[in-house]
Structure 1
Amino acid sequence: MGYALTRHIRELPSVRNGLSMAEELTLLVLADKGAMTAARLFGSYMSQEARPFMGDTSFWKLKTNPAERWVGGVSIDPQETLNWRFDEDRGTVCRQ
Structure 2
Amino acid sequence: MSANIKVYDDIIPIVNMLNGGKTIDEKVNVSIAIGLFAGNMVTLARAAELSKLSLGEFIDVLKDRGIPWGEYTEEHEKMDDIAIKSLLSRMESIND
Classify the TM-score, shorter chain.
0.3 to 0.5
Greater RCO, CA 8 A, separation 6+: 1
Largest Rg, 1 or 2: 2
Which structure: greater strand fraction? 1
Normalization by structure 2: what TM-score?
0.34
Normalization by structure 1: what TM-score?
0.34
